[in-house]
């Protein structure tokens, strides 16, 4: 009974290993391939040392995650260039697996109170796009603040110029 072959299992140094395509996928992928998962590419990994709190730190988080995913060779999963159609059908299972690892990395980078919108997501790309749509407003608010500051400087300059027209320069003492 010990030496009998069990259908669907391959006997090897680790005992019976399922021969299903989902298990065997990715076994021969080169470490430079975007679908390669190494021993440290686990879902519990935190890519960066801080979490998304909201609009106030989205820009820093976005850049940090992009750099970390670039280093891990997984950036294609959030920039839209890695789609199932790009890889052969034989790698679709591996693609799903890598997608879920990257998805968990993204979720680990978001503060718990912000997880509601992404908890049941199935695509790292969709979560990335959703986070951008929800929180990439820092640049717009910063732009607004700068425009407001420039307008106030223009008003001050106008006031100074009107003062200069007949008498002394704005901000200058009567000695000049």
Write down the mean pLDDT value for the chain: 79
How many residues can be counted in the chain?
176
Q: What is the pLDDT of residues 122-138, one digit of tens each?
A: 999 999 999 999 998 75
Closest CA to 40 of 81, 83, 74, 86: 74
pTM tops 0.85? no
Distances (CA, A) of 33 to 71, 88, 126: 12, 13, 22
């Amino acid at each position: 009974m010990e030496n009998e072959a069990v259908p669907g299992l391959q006997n090897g140094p680790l005992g019976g290993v399922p021969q299903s395509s989902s298990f065997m996928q990715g076994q021969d992928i080169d470490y430079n391939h975007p679908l390669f998962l190494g021993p440290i590419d686990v879902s519990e990994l935190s890519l960066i040392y801080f979490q998304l709190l909201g609009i106030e730190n989205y820009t820093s988080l976005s850049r940090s995650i992009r750099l970390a995913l670039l280093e891990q060779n997984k950036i294609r999963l959030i920039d839209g260039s890695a789609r199932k159609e790009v890889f052969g059908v034989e790698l679709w299972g591996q693609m799903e697996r890598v997608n879920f690892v990257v998805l968990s990395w993204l979720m680990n980078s978001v503060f718990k109170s912000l997880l509601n919108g992404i908890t049941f997501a199935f695509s790292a790309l969709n979560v990335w796009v959703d986070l951008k749509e929800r929180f990439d407003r820092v640049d717009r608010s910063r732009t607004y603040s700068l425009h407001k500051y420039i307008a106030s400087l223009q008003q001050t300059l106008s006031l100074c110029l009107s003062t200069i027209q007949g008498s002394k320069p704005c901000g200058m003492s009567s000695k000049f």
